[in-house]
Amino acid sequence: MSTHTFLKESTTTPDASNMRFGLVVAEWNSHITDVLLDQAVCALLSAGAKKENIIIKRVPGSFELIFGCSELARYKSVDGIIAIGSVIRGDTPHFDYICNGVTQELARQNSTGGIPIIYGLLTTENEHQAIERIDGTVGRKGEEFAMTAIKMIDFSWSLKK
């Protein structure tokens, strides 16, 4: 099984010491989302982010990430948001509705909202696949979400210079 993450390794990680992060985390499948959150926070702190500059808000499920990210962007002074959720396919089309709705709306918010919103939604066929994406077998996705947030905030700031 592949452990490649497809994320290009940079020679340097941008300094995150002045960056402010919002993390919106779904409570549904918390055995997955809590690990993603821990990985993301550890990666942010390792990159220099200050604990007081990391705001964590929880929402009931992945569909509620839409409202959570929108409100966090509107009311909190953050430079970027990471939306963290896990949707595991079941026996009904509910999986498709949730994944499509969240993906489309977060993409819209990301392109129109003025700050980067990082798509941290695991969409897997089964629980085993979700666990592989947090235990290192197929990456440590929470860390990847954090690195993406740092790089996108840095990218945004570079355009404002």
Do residues 36 and 134 lie in contact, with contact meaning Cβ atoms separated by under 8 Å? Answer: yes
Instruction: Find the catalytic residue in 4, 31, 94, 128.
Output: 94
**3-state DSSP call for residue 83?**
strand
Q: Which H or E run contains 119?
A: strand 117-124
Contacts of 79 (CB under 8 A, 6+ apart): 19, 20, 21, 115, 153, 156, 157
Annotated binding site for 5-amino-6-(D-ribitylamino)uracil: 28, 62-64, 86-88, 119
Tokens (6 digits) for 59: 């929402």
122 — phi, psi (to 5°)? -80, 125
Distance CA 155, CA 88 (A): 32
**3-state DSSP call for residue 41?**
helix
Distance CA 93, CA 103 (A): 16
Active site residue 4: no
Among all residues, which ones are annotated catalytic?
Answer: 94
